[in-house]
């Protein structure tokens, strides 16, 4: 079982701790606020009332190199930086930190954070993409050019096979999976004779500009 140590239990940290715990992770939740610790007890393997910036506390928790550490302190750059430094010294390989802006992100990356998340920026990007390409439901960037998109098929796709649609030739995109939104069943690498039906979502890989061509 994977173990995640979530330090700082504001809205962001609490929701991550809860989601990971409900999906089978061994979750250790840490905060110096007694009220939030009481609230997270039922949604974590262990809830610890302590100051996460204290290196002795982190050592007593016994955070291992292969554990996932998640730090969420909002605007408190000093606390996030100090904990990141402590975890780096403890050889933790995966250190995910929440940051309020790009300046904080640069500092946290310099001191050892492996992933820095700016929630407001991520949400803004998703909202913008949903307006630019209304049929795109979600996306994962792979590189500067290529992304994996989850998109609702336009009406013109319904009742047609992948072979008939010729998406690779027409749009330079590849369908890698199809998900049924009702049953949540996923058909990985569908065959060319797969017929697109209403209530299905296409998972495709391609360039954002090519996805936008699909109306």
DSSP per-residue codes, 94-114: EEEEE-SSHHHHHHHHHHT-S
> Quick one: pLDDT at residue 18?
93
User: What are the structure tokens assigned to 189, written together?
Assistant: 């690498």
Terminal alpha carbon distance of the chain: 43
Question: Which pLDDT value is given to residue 125?
Answer: 60
Strand pairing category for 68-71 and 94-98 = parallel
Which pLDDT belongs to residue 88? Answer: 95
**Residue 24 has which token pair?**
């089978």
Instruction: Please state, in angstroms and rounded to a whole number, the distance separating the CA atoms of residues 22 and 44.
Output: 9
**How far, in Å, CA of 52 to CA of 115, rounded?**
19
Supply the pLDDT for residue 107: 93
- Multiple choice CATH, 128-212, 3.30.70.1450, 3.40.50.720, 2.40.50.100, 3.30.2130.30: 3.30.70.1450
Whole-number Å distance between alpha carbons of 211 and 176:
14
pTM for this prediction: 0.64
Outline where DSSP puts E strands in the chain. 3-7, 26-31, 46-49, 68-71, 94-98, 115-117, 136-141, 146-151, 174-180, 186-188, 200-207
Distances (CA, A) of 70 to 87, 110, 182: 10, 17, 33
H or E stretch at 122: helix 119-132
Q: What interhelical angle do 77-89 and 102-111 show, nearest 10? A: 20
Give how far Cα 88 sits from Cα of 1, 79, 94, 110, 176, Å.
Answer: 22, 14, 9, 11, 37
> Model confidence over 62-90: pLDDT tens digits?
999 999 999 998 778 899 999 999 999 99
Cα torsion angle, 61, 67, 69, 70, sign: negative
What are the residue ranges spanned by the domains of the chain?
3-117, 128-212
CATH architecture of 3-117: 3-Layer(aba) Sandwich (3.40)
Which segments in the chain show pLDDT lower than 70?
Answer: 120-144, 215
pLDDT score recorded for residue 5: 97
Structure tokens at 131: 């307006």
């Amino acid at each position: 079982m994977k173990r995640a140590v979530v330090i700082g239990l504001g809205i962001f940290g609490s929701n991550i701790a809860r989601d990971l715990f409900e999906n089978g992770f061994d979750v250790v939740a840490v905060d110096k606020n007694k009220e939030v610790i009481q609230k997270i007890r039922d949604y974590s393997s262990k809830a610890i009332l302590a100051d996460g910036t204290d290196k002795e506390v982190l050592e007593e928790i016994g955070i291992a190199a292969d554990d996932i550490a998640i730090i969420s302190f909002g605007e408190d750059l000093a606390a996030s930086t100090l904990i990141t430094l402590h975890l780096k010294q403890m050889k933790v390989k995966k250190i995910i930190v929440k940051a309020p802006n790009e300046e904080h992100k640069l500092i946290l990356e310099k001191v050892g954070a492996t992933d820095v998340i700016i929630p407001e920026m991520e949400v803004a990007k998703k909202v913008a993409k949903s307006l630019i390409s209304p049929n795109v439901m979600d996306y994962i960037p792979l590189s500067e050019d290529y992304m994996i998109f989850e998109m609702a098929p336009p009406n013109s796709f319904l009742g047609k096979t992948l072979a008939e649609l010729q998406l690779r030739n027409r749009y330079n995109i590849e369908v890698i999976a199809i998900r049924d939104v009702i049953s949540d069943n996923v058909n990985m690498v569908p065959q060319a004779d797969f017929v697109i039906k209403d209530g299905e979502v296409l998972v495709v890989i391609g360039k954002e500009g090519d996805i936008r061509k699909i109306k």
